[in-house]
Amino acid sequence: MKVIYSDNILHNEGMISGYIIIEKGKIINILNEFNGSYVNYKDEYILPGFIDQHVHGWGRGSLFFNKSPESLIMMVRDLPKEGVTSFLPTTTTGSVDDIYQTIDIINKVIEKNEVGAEILGIHLEGPFINPEKSGAQSKEFCIKPNLKLFKKFENKCVEPNQIRLITIAPELENAQELIEYCREKNIQVSAGHTDATFEQIIESKKWGVNGVTHMYGAMSGLHHRNLGTVGAALYDADLYCEFAKQTGITVNHEAFDIAYRIKTADKIIHSTDCLGHARQNKAYFHAKRGIWFIPQDNLIIEQNVNTGLEKKYNIDNYDDVRKLEMSYIDSVRNMVKYTKMTWEEIGKVTSLNPARYLNLENKGKIDIGKDADFTILTKDINLKATYINGQLIYTNTI
């Protein structure tokens, strides 16, 4: 049995003080008083563990640049250092064989049961997306929705219902058949990389679309006579809006704030959509940031085309590579800097909402019977510790 205490526990969407009693990875009780030894986080804030439902790579690992079990294992190990307790490794739009390979890698790492962030399943981003809105995805591999092929992806998985989330362009031919199948199988469906009209998004809700992937990005925009996917996501009270990391580059802070005011914390999901730049095997240009990432031996050289500045990062040094892109915890801090949020609202967008969206009954809340996944923060939203299934996986000693 393990016991931790705080004056600030986010419990059922409200802050309480108490002792969290943990046994076999579960919360078995929350007490006002306790006689015995415990871990004291008196002044810190204990939130349900961060869930990242959209991440291609992080830290020293990447499924985007380096498809290997070792690379995914590094993601499992490094994500808790940013407060993430569970995540969906996310595929990219490549050849069918590339997607098979990614699924095989995820299978192997799931079977290894590595210590670190829990792999919840798979987010299948593509290949059933609109090439006109491919964004950073490979346009040449975008294909029409194909239920037979999707079932082959399912059959490749080592666990049932391993594909938990799919991003699809609902305006494409045959999309309805695939979306309705996913609804029957309890697989969540998000509209993304889509040129759908307002009317098409609203219609696709009837089939099983419940949200949008990286809101504003790679989707039809809002015009006062043609509301597009953005307009539908803002207008419809039921649709969730997933946002990628809040750098202010891909989505202006004001644009996020507009969505937040309309949707409220109840329908916003925070993710990162990180790529894992440390594992690049060839030069890669990030157009929005105006930066070249160039691998050289055990270094990544970052060249800014706008300023001419050059920085070097050791790919084996985590403190180095975490600077290559904004992390989950840094994004949360940046989000709150520009959009006023309570602790309860932070807990919703980082944990409760993705848990609900992905049908994760044992996650998203600190309550009796739930998984003992905790992200423990200082009052300034710096990470103090990360617990996964009741085990202290990371602690910040600084």
- Cβ neighbours of residue 7 closer than 8 Å, sequence gap 6 or more: 17, 42, 43
How many residues make up the chain in this entry? 398
Q: Which residues are catalytic?
A: 273
CB-neighbour burial class of residue 390 (10 A; exposed 0-12, middle 13-18, buried 19+): buried
Ordered strands of the 240-243 beta sheet: 122-125, 163-168, 188-191, 209-212, 240-243, 268-270
Nearest to 205 by CA among 177, 238, 234, 228: 238
Q: Which of 210, 286, 198 is nearest to 250 (CA)?
A: 286
Report the C-alpha gap between 107 and 368 in whole angstroms: 31
**Is 214 annotated to bind ligand?**
yes
Helix (H), strand (E) at residue 19: strand 14-23
List CB contacts of 396: < 8 A, sequence separation 6 or more.
382, 383, 384, 385
For residue 193, say whether it is annotated as part of any ligand binding site.
yes
54 is in an annotated binding site: no
Q: Are 384 and 377 in contact (CB under 8 A)?
A: yes
DSSP string covering 151-201: HHHHHH-SSTT-EEEEEE-TTSTTHHHHHHHHHHTT-EEEE-SB---HHHH
CA–CA distance, 173 with 268 (Å, rounded to integer): 29
173 Cβ neighbours under 8 A, 6+ residues apart = 144, 145
Binding site listing: 125, 193, 214
Binding site listing for Zn(2+): 125, 193, 214
